Amino acid sequence: MLADESSFVCSAAKSWLVGLRRSLASNVEEFAGDNVRAFATAADDARAVIAFMHNWQVPVGYETAIPCTPSGEDSYDLLISPQSGLQVPVQMVSTTEGREFTVTVTNGGPDTGAGTVTVTADTADGGPVLADLDGDGTFTDLSPFVFPFTNLAPGANSSRTVMFTIGEPNVRTQISWTATVVADPPEADPNPLNNSVSATTNVRTTGGGGGGQGGNPN
């Protein structure tokens, strides 16, 4: 587009926009209640703006550059389901025999995720909860229990099932559980509100153990 053409287009556009502003201002005053005429006029003005932008291109040198380069940063929504993300026994007998808990993290995508799941288990009387993280049959690991993971595909799950026991047997108490997942790096997860759940286990000195329960939103 030539320089004189650009000047003509800019001048015409400026005059047209001034007239449109006045028209819209008067229509706003008229538009009240069920005034359909004012609404229809405003709609016509909006269509006119769209038509003008299609018919009269912005002159070279007056346009605003809009960068469309990708950020290069991964984003993935890690979550622990409040229904099934943390499975623990509802009740158990306080003995040296072990029970198990299962924690599951899900990657909601869109990118491949990585992070760490931390499970804490605290008793009401302050006694320890011991776990067998290595699976060798010995309960030597104290809470919190940490489970890192990498390369978790979008839509995939990562689960860990671990045996645990009460450090002080024959004690009536309650175990408060919390499972939390943190992305690596943390800012890669845009929704931290679904990263943590909690649950409880009632520990008896006699009687049978109970089934498992899901976690509750923390």
The pTM (predicted TM-score) of the whole model is 0.63
Alpha-carbon distance of 119 to 121, in angstroms, equals: 7
Say whether pLDDT at 130 is over 60: yes
Amino acid, res. 139: F
Say whether pLDDT at 107 is over 80: yes
C-beta atoms surrounding 130 within 10 Å? 21
Say whether pLDDT at 215 is over 70: no
**Structure-model confidence comparison of residues 213 and 120, the more confident one:** 120
> What homologous superfamily is domain 76-217 in, according to CATH?
Immunoglobulins (2.60.40.10)
Determine what percent of the chain is predicted with pLDDT higher than 70. 70
130-137 CB contacts, 8 Å cutoff, 24+ apart? 130/164, 130/165, 130/166, 130/167, 131/162, 131/163, 131/164, 132/98, 132/162, 132/163, 132/164, 133/162, 135/163
Give the pLDDT of residue 20: 56
The number of residues in the chain equals 218
What's the rounded mean pLDDT across residues 53-75? Answer: 68
Please list, residue by residue across 30-59, b when 16 or more beta carbons sit within 10 angstroms of its beta carbon and e when fewer do: ebeeeeeebeebbeeeeeeeeeeeeeeeeb
Say whether pLDDT at 95 is over 90: no
What is the band of 91 on the pLDDT scale with cuts at 50, 70, 90? very high
**Structure-model confidence comparison of residues 23 and 178, the more confident one:** 178
Asked if 164 contacts 139 with a C-beta cutoff of 8 angstroms, the reply is: yes
Say whether pLDDT at 170 is over 70: yes
What is the band of 35 on the pLDDT scale with cuts at 50, 70, 90? low
What is the band of 113 on the pLDDT scale with cuts at 50, 70, 90? very high
Give the pLDDT of residue 205: 84
Q: Which of 46-50, 65-69, 135-139 has the lowest mean pLDDT?
A: 65-69
Say whether pLDDT at 209 is over 50: no
What's the rounded mean pLDDT across residues 28-51? Answer: 66
Asked if 86 contacts 197 with a C-beta cutoff of 8 angstroms, the reply is: yes
Task: Please give the mean pLDDT across all residues of the chain.
Answer: 80
**Segments making up each domain of the chain, as ranges:** 3-55, 76-217
What's the rounded mean pLDDT across residues 184-205? Answer: 94
What's the rounded mean pLDDT across residues 118-133? Answer: 92
What is the band of 218 on the pLDDT scale with cuts at 50, 70, 90? very low
What's the rounded mean pLDDT across residues 25-46? Answer: 62
What's the rounded mean pLDDT across residues 74-87? Answer: 95
